[in-house]
Structure 1
Amino acid sequence: MTFGRVQQSDGVPKRVLVLGYARTGSTLLSEIINLHERVLCLFEPLRVAESNRIDYISALKDLNECRFNYLFETIDEDGLATPKKGFFLHVISDTLALSDGKVNFTELTNECNNSETVLVIKTIRLNFKWETRKFFHQNPHFKIIHLFRDPRGILSSRSDTAELINKTGLHSICDIISKDVQYGLSIRRKLPQNRYLLTSYEALIYSPINVTKKVYNTANLQITDHILHKVYNLTRSNTTIIGGYNSSLPRNGTTNVLRWQKTLSNKNLNKLISNLNCRYLINLAYKEDFQQL
């Protein structure tokens, strides 16, 4: 197969939305998906839509149709595009991204339209609302991989811990995530099998191979032993995959999962668990199989 050429096929386009929240591990999960050579991953394109006052659903429709103009500052006569600040993508072809940071816009569009390419959209900006449900019902080829985290882990990974606790900001975060998770589980029962996958950062770290297999299965991606080996190293050691923005800071996953035990005071923990939705997420985050819910 030659990269950069559109496959003449009637195949259904492959689209995956990685839906996460700040400090929940969505970049790590995207890195894991990026290990596959046929993934074209857009990192936070809705951030650009937001700054350009484009509503999220309109932005998703554009991305679904491989219309990427709003993600770039300029596109010159040679088809070379300069990305807007805050937007990054994982390249699957050496001819797509150039050394000066520009992108071959024609190549990008061709790859998106290639029936073998899986377009992955990673965002922490999208809540499940009525418009979102309507969009996904109208686009049955779209898959959702929904990632959340034990709120104690979210709290311990942020620099504004005291402010979040004192102003009940974390309670609001728990309320939003809890409602999204419950909504996601409710629509999963109405959707065809394998269109919605719920998982947690804790599940990803404690069972990286098992979760990766489920993620790849949902995204219709073939997994290899080579990919699984990289996943194990990425989640178990202090190393990371290098690839432009796509790289997170070096991490030891199991240490991060339990970091809250050393950093959060009993007073802050008691304030957190006083919220019903925070307790719901804490109990849910360590489930072994979310598909049984």
Structure 2
Amino acid sequence: MREGCRAGGGGRMECSWKTVLLLVCASLGVQYTAIRTLRDSLSGPCQGAYRCQTRHHRDSRWRALCDWMPVDSPGKHILLFATTRSGSSFTGQLLNQHPEIFYVYEPLYHVQQAFTNSSSRLRRTLDRRALLGAYRDLLLNLYACDLHFIENYIRPEPQDHVTNSFFRRSSSHALCSPPVCLEGGEVTASDPPDESWCPKKCGALNLTLASMSCLSRGHVAIKTVRVPEVGDLRTLTEDPRLDLKIIHLVRDPRAILASRMMAFSDQFRAWKIWNATGRQPRYVDLSQITSTCKDMAASAETGLQRPAWLRGRYLLVRYEDLALNPRDKAGEIYRFAGLEMEDRVRTWIAKNTNSNASSPSEWNYRYSTTRDSRATAESWRLRLGYDIVRTVQNLCNDTLALLGYKQVHSAAQLRNLSHSLVEHRTFQPVT
């Protein structure tokens, strides 16, 4: 029987089930496109200066926010792209100190939590790329200073655009200072983030005021450890609305593992038993480090191939180089981003990277950014047993070679800190 529709008795149209299904799908597609178009046209001033210019005098709802929009020059959109325990909190603070950068710490956390319902079991079984579409949508809206968009994922749901549940709000100076927080003027820019001060002094976060702050600063920087590979960001690099700059932060996988074992004791209990006893438990999850090595290598290889979609948009930075020469590497990062490195960034570096800056309590804090950076660059060598190091080297051999990390072949070599395991390498921006 021929597929399609035909005239039936009484002037009725009779269609096959396949045709009906196709019509339903087409209808849904049209409705989805219409809804997205309507949302884009009404979602506020944060979709770009050109929209503010056309709406500014016609819609009083957004007039106050549009007044904050810098329409003369497009802002920079910076993404600190890293993996867990690679030094991204420290590196992010280099961007957070700039007075014209609106810095957001791990906003994709809210997407992950919303979809996994805070279930660690479900989080482990969920494919890492299942949330990429939602991640990219949120990043795009945050770069447009539409902080209301994140309300789709914050739990409990914000009321009247106000929330007490914004993840690590205190890591952003912009979210703890005027106009978001009238008490914020008491904290100097060089101070490290205080996880308790901001919520107590500032109260709940008003996302409308946060959007105003974002617009007034002109540039947006976001840190994330939840996107697996740089190739997953291609859609954003090719979006004409963005001037995206990707800072790909990498670190020696052996150091990453040592740091995770300290910070996440429950998740890495088997590794800690192995390190303490010298005997590998049968239930140790090797994928906790192999997936990290695979992602880092894949992203670095993509960058080294210098594809057209990454030209002018990608810089690989080794944490060890940043720790050993923080001022020089910070200057390189700022030049890549197309921004001047302000004096208060230099002040923060001087205050937070010398041996006298940190106290024992700060060293124990999971996300501390105050440390003797030179001493911490290879301090993992004093904490990991040689058996674990040898295993990681076998699992991540290609990644170590690609990024310029030397292997050790004895416990004595491992403990000999007078010989660095970081090769001299220069990673130029993709041009």
Fold equivalence (TM over 0.5): yes
> Which residue of 168, 174, 184 maps to 2:286?
168
Change (3 A) 1:246 1:221: farther
Residue 32 of structure 1: CA displacement? 1.3
Contact 2:250–2:317 under 8 Å retained in 1: yes
Aligned-partner SS, 1:143: strand
1:254 to 2:374 alignment:
yes
Aligned-partner SS, 2:256: helix
The structure showing larger relative contact order (alpha-carbon pairs under 8 Å, at least 6 residues apart) is: 1
Distance 2:163 2:356 in 1: 33
RMSD of aligned Cα (Å):
3.0
Residue 172 of structure 1: CA displacement? 2.5
1:137 to 2:244 alignment:
no
Residue 107 of structure 1: CA displacement? 2.6
Aligned-partner SS, 2:310: coil
Distance 2:221 2:429 in 1: 25
The total of aligned residue pairs comes to 282
Distance 2:91 2:230 in 1: 23
Q: Which amino acid aligns with 1:82?
A: T
> Aligned residue for 2:227?
126
Residue 131 of structure 1: CA displacement? 4.7
Contact 2:355–2:371 under 8 Å retained in 1: yes
> Which residue of 179, 200, 214 maps to 2:298?
179
Residue 26 of structure 1: CA displacement? 0.3
Q: Specify which structure has the higher proportion of strand.
A: 1
> Which residue of 134, 138, 157 maps to 1:59?
138
Deviations, residues 140-177 of structure 1 (Å, cap 9, x unaligned): 40111110101121122122275397432322321121
> Aligned residue for 1:96?
180
> Aligned residue for 2:21?
none
> Which residue of 398, 402, 416 maps to 1:277?
398
> Aligned residue for 2:387?
267
Aligned-partner SS, 1:11: coil
Residue 227 of structure 1: CA displacement? 2.5
Contact 2:77–2:221 under 8 Å retained in 1: yes
1:290 to 2:410 alignment:
no
Distance 2:310 2:326 in 1: 26
Contact 2:315–2:336 under 8 Å retained in 1: yes
Correspondence 1:1-293 to 2 at 5 A: 6-53=68-115, 55-69=134-148, 70-71=150-151, 73-76=157-160, 81-88=162-169, 90-92=172-174, 93-97=177-181, 99-114=201-216, 116-128=217-229, 130-139=231-240, 140-159=242-261, 160=268, 162-163=270-271, 166-169=284-287, 170-187=289-306, 190-193=309-312, 195-239=313-357, 248=368, 250-275=370-395, 276-280=397-401, 283=404, 286-291=423-428
Contact 2:404–2:425 under 8 Å retained in 1: no
Q: Which amino acid aligns with 1:56?
A: Y
Structure 1: segments with no counterpart, 5+ residues: none
Distance 2:212 2:218 in 1: 10
Distance 1:121 1:101 in 2: 23
Residue 104 of structure 1: CA displacement? 3.5
Distance 1:118 1:124 in 2: 20
Deviations, residues 21-76 of structure 1 (Å, cap 9, x unaligned): 11100000011111111111111100101222362112112212222222453243
Aligned-partner SS, 1:94: coil
Distance 2:228 2:165 in 1: 23
Aligned-partner SS, 1:86: coil
Change (3 A) 1:225 1:145: same
Identity %: 25
Name the stretch that deviates more: 275-284 or 125-134: 275-284
Distance 2:180 2:90 in 1: 23
Contact 1:18–1:123 under 8 Å retained in 2: yes
Aligned-partner SS, 2:291: helix
Change (3 A) 1:158 1:228: same
Residue 239 of structure 1: CA displacement? 2.5
Name the stretch that deviates more: 225-234 or 251-260: 225-234
Contact 2:229–2:295 under 8 Å retained in 1: no
Give TM-score scaled by structure 1 length: 0.83
Residue 238 of structure 1: CA displacement? 4.7
Name the stretch that deviates more: 169-178 or 223-232: 223-232
Residue 204 of structure 1: CA displacement? 0.5
Name the stretch that deviates more: 4-13 or 257-266: 4-13
> Aligned residue for 2:126?
none
Q: Which amino acid aligns with 2:249?
A: L
Distance 2:382 2:259 in 1: 12
Give TM-score scaled by structure 2 length: 0.58
Contact 2:296–2:399 under 8 Å retained in 1: no
Q: Specify which structure has the higher proportion of helix.
A: 2
